Structure 1
Amino acid sequence: MTDATVRIATADDASTIAAIQVRTWRAAYAEALGRATVDALDEEALAAEWATAVTHPGSTVLVALEGATVVGFCAAGPAPRDDVAAADDSLPADADTVALVSTVLVEPRWGRRGHGGRLFGTAATALRADGHTRGITWTAQSDSASLSFFRSVGWNPDGTVRTLDTGERTVRELRLTGGLDVRFTDADD
């Protein structure tokens, strides 16, 4: 394998991030979200959103590279109130120090090479440096690969669920939570 690295994303990476998102969602999430939903993804519109996200204060957007090729990305930052709140809308005592890892995505053809672990580990380090004490993420209950990945780093469902309506399907998501003191080796992913 060529050199594998992680770096902070720039606005120049936005179109590549969007392309990876579209290819990966179409390959991995068509059944869960619905074929029409993933086919309707607008790569240009997503690129504009990612260009904004990489420069948004407080957010951390990282890209994984194999050699010079961007193969995946991760986005994280302070967790919004609605994501941290319990079903009864109450907030935990540590709400102000909870981070949201909104996505860790590696294009399937580059999977199983440690890119996801490097992305997550780098994001966790940055989040700790920003004062976050733990993290959360939302994962489709049917997404066994993502659930397995997060469980491997000690993140587990906390009992909170939400249902998203894609217009074609309803997707039940589990909120997972865990610590940010994680270490990875190339075998993790």
Structure 2
Amino acid sequence: MADVSVRVAWADDAPAIAALQLRAWQQRYAGLLAESELPSGPEALAAATEAWRASLVKTSDARQRVLVALEHADVVGFVMTGPATDPDCDPVRDGVVEELTVDPDRVRQGHGSRLLQAAADTLVADRFTRAICWVPSTDDAQRTFLTEAGWAPDGAHRTLEAPSGAPLKELRLHASLEA
């Protein structure tokens, strides 16, 4: 049996989270963003590590959490939760699941499911009754993963602009957290 778990992230997890995020972004946004727009290299890793360390040491809202999936002592995934900030959301009732990321070399091993369940449990503990998540419109794998877990589109969509001006279209999924 594999030694796998999910826990709240610590500041010491910052280097592993940053490395995982940058590696996953290379795959997730390939073809959507120009290669020059995807952070890579030692300087990007150092900057991402410091940004993660700072966010893990002090959050602006006690309901903002970062959870990590572990295999033995290795960080193999992470997810962020907190109050939803969309204009049509209620930050008391609506929570957000952001950056649900699993190491590209470790997908389909249950880490994403464990992270999603832990995120939902965390949002429930923080008294949110609905969860939302933004997904790139072209990310069929993540959208399928979430819909198979009971999430559904709520009709909201947005277009973000990459530094190059290229549009990144996203759709919003939601799930009830009420029993």
Q: Give the TM-score taking structure 1 as reference length.
A: 0.84
Matched, 1:33 2:18: no
How many angstroms does 1:49 deviate by? 2.1
Residue of structure 2 equivalent to 1:186? none
Matched, 1:19 2:19: yes
AA aligned opposite 2:167: T
Q: Give the TM-score taking structure 2 as reference length.
A: 0.89
Q: Secondary structure at the match of 1:112?
A: coil
Residue of structure 2 equivalent to 1:115? 111
AA aligned opposite 2:78: F
CA distance in 2, matches of 1:69, 1:31: 29
Q: Secondary structure at the match of 2:108?
A: coil
How many angstroms does 1:53 deviate by? 2.6
Matched, 1:100 2:66: no
The 10-residue stretch of structure 1 (40-49 or 65-74) with the greater mean CA deviation from structure 2: 40-49
Change (3 A) 1:69 1:45: same
How many angstroms does 1:40 deviate by? 5.2
Matched, 1:128 2:124: yes
> Residue 175 of structure 1 is aligned with which of 169, 172, 176?
172
How many angstroms does 1:123 deviate by? 1.2
Matched, 1:5 2:5: yes
Q: Which runs of 4+ in 1 moved over 3 A?
A: none
Kindly indicate whether the alpha-carbon contact (under 8 Å) linking 1:30 and 1:37 is maintained by their aligned counterparts in 2: no
- 1:43-62 matches, within 5 Å, as 43-54=45-56, 55-56=58-59, 57-62=62-67
Kindly indicate whether the alpha-carbon contact (under 8 Å) linking 2:83 and 2:91 is maintained by their aligned counterparts in 1: no
Matched, 1:76 2:81: yes
CA distance in 2, matches of 1:174, 1:2: 35
CA distance in 2, matches of 1:44, 1:167: 21
AA aligned opposite 1:46: A
**Percent pairwise identity:** 40
> Residue 156 of structure 1 is aligned with which of 149, 152, 173?
152
Unaligned runs of 5+ in 1: 86-90, 183-189
Kindly indicate whether the alpha-carbon contact (under 8 Å) linking 2:22 and 2:40 is maintained by their aligned counterparts in 1: no
CA distance in 2, matches of 1:22, 1:181: 34
Matched, 1:65 2:70: yes
